[in-house]
Amino acid sequence: MSIIQELTEKYNGIYSEDPTSSFTGPTGKYIYQQKSGIINFDGTKISINLNEVGGAMYGTEPFRITLHLDKTYGVEFNVFPKTLLNKFLDYIIPNRAIFIPRNVRNQFSFGGNKDLIKKLISDKIFIENINNEKIFIGTINKLANRIVLTPAHGINDVDHFEKLVKVLKRIENEIKNCT
């Protein structure tokens, strides 16, 4: 049973799975299958998507966990693992992210609404849940109606999924409080 199917059963959600598709490319036969689930987590719609790829190319596109906001908010926000360029910029301009604690600043880069970032980095639960994770979080555009979290190494189990959703819920609460 896939993790998405397990989650939808636990939360009485909706699970769907496309039929397996295959095609032959220059390096061999590829197999593709999309799996998705929609659940209600503490009154919020959460969707989970995975595009599995197999055959000649072993690997999978990453999970996408999407929290659907109740309305559109004029907030832009993103978090991503610190890149070498961002480390260099922190060295050149040391005060550009001084309000972010060093352990979080060394691991992640933040962008978007400064007030939202300040509230989130002062939230101990948010910081504990992103610590030592390799995740990408962002609103799709400035008129945000959803927040997408992509874990670089997938979802380990139901507990790991719930930890990641708690991160999204903290962001949702702060977005609602900012407006």
Residues 94 and 149 in one domain: yes
Which of 33, 61, 89 terminates a domain? The answer is 61
Note down the domain range covering 14: 1-61
pLDDT at 53: 64
Structural domains in the chain (count): 2
Nearest to 154 by CA among 31, 2, 1: 2
Residues 139 and 155 in one domain: yes
pLDDT at 160: 93
- If phi > 0 it is left, if psi is from -120 to 50 it is alpha, else beta; for residue 142 that is alpha
Residues 91 and 174 in one domain: yes
pLDDT in tens, 99-126: 777 788 889 988 888 899 999 999 999 9
The 10 Å Cβ neighbour count of residue 102 is 9
Residues 57 and 73 in one domain: no
Residues 34 and 86 in one domain: no
Residues 52 and 87 in one domain: no
Residues 46 and 73 in one domain: no
pLDDT in tens, 6-19: 989 999 999 998 88
Q: Is there a contact between 78 and 149 (Cβ–Cβ < 8 Å)?
A: no
pLDDT at 161: 93
pTM of the shown model = 0.85
Residues 55 and 85 in one domain: no
Question: 161: buried, middle or exposed (CB in 10 Å: 19+, 13-18, 0-12)?
Answer: buried
Residues 89 and 147 in one domain: yes
Distance from chain centroid for Cα 152: 9
Which of 45, 61, 77 terminates a domain? The answer is 61
pLDDT at 60: 53
Q: Is there a contact between 168 and 46 (Cβ–Cβ < 8 Å)?
A: yes
Residues 155 and 103 in one domain: yes
Per-10-residue mean pLDDT for the chain, 179 residues long?
A: 86 89 77 86 91 59 87 90 84 75 85 90 92 90 85 89 94 87
